[in-house]
């Protein structure tokens, strides 16, 4: 009599109970490897899962606070508009904000050895409509008490009538473009580092001055301010 051997059937029943594990610890993770029983995953607390290597917790994933924690080395926290890294006595925060059309600022914040001093580096930008007038000025300002590294420009739409234009501080008259001015043709650029770094002691806008007044306000120039900003300690 022949004996028929059938392969086991694979089940796709999703109604069965999920696999569950003990919480475990960093020293004894609950999900490990046969050849490495002190490396794996464990439950840190409510809505938090840790990764252990060689019996030590190294990373924690925490959904509620949006945190990836590097244990023993502070934390990296990703939020809607910021990235925070902290450890020891200091916290550093990268704020991704969008003043005008866009920009960012890097700020060291907080910590027990922080006396209110800050160092910030940043960039702000604006797409400026070039008026049918002798000059046009930005809405954004050169940051107060900042060291201006560059005021870069790019012509996105040709400026009519004029042949060139200059890029200056609206109050100080400090020129940021190269000698001879910037050509008005679309896609023309200037890095804007002439007379930089420039210490800006008063908030002021950026002024665009064509060599001839445009016949229409159809020209467009992207203006980008790059800067460092320092605040003295408060205590």
- All structural domains of the chain, each given as residue ranges with its CATH number in brackets, are 122-231 (2.60.120)
What global pTM score does this model have?
0.63
* Beta strand segments in the chain, E: 31-33, 36-45, 48-53, 56-62, 67-70, 75-78, 82-87, 90-95, 102-109, 118-130, 136-142, 146-157, 164-169, 182-183, 189-190, 198-200, 204-210, 219-231
d(CA 38, CA 52): 7
d(CA 178, CA 161): 21
Tens of each residue's pLDDT in the chain, 235 residues:
555 555 555 555 566 677 888 999 989 999 999 899 999 999 988 888 888 888 888 778 776 555 555 555 444 554 445 555 555 555 555 554 444 455 555 655 544 456 767 777 888 999 999 999 999 999 999 999 899 999 999 999 999 999 999 999 999 999 999 999 999 999 999 999 999 999 999 889 999 999 999 999 999 999 999 998 888 888 7
203 and 140 in contact (C-beta within 8 Å)? no
């Amino acid at each position: 009599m022949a004996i028929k051997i059938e392969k086991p059937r694979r089940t796709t029943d999703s109604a069965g109970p999920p696999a569950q594990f003990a919480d475990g610890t960093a020293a004894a993770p609950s999900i490990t490897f046969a050849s490495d029983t002190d490396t794996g995953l464990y439950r840190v607390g409510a809505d938090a899962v840790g990764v252990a290597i060689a019996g030590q917790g190294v990373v924690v994933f925490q959904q509620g606070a949006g945190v990836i924690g590097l244990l023993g080395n502070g934390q990296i926290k990703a939020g809607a508009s910021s990235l925070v890294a902290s450890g020891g006595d200091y916290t550093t925060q990268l704020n991704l904000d969008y003043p005008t059309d866009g920009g960012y600022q890097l700020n060291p914040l907080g910590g027990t050895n922080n006396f209110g001093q800050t160092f910030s580096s940043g960039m702000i930008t604006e797409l400026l409509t070039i008026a049918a007038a002798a000059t046009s000025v930005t809405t954004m300002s050169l940051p107060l008490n900042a060291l201006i590294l560059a005021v870069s420009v790019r012509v996105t739409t040709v400026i009519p009538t004029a042949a060139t234009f200059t890029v200056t501080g609206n109050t100080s008259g400090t020129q940021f473009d190269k000698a001879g001015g910037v050509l008005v043709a679309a896609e023309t650029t200037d890095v804007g580092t002439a007379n930089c770094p420039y210490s800006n002691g008063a908030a002021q806008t950026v002024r665009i001055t064509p060599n001839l007044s445009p016949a229409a306000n159809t020209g467009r120039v992207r203006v980008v301010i790059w800067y460092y900003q320092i605040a003295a300690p408060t205590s």
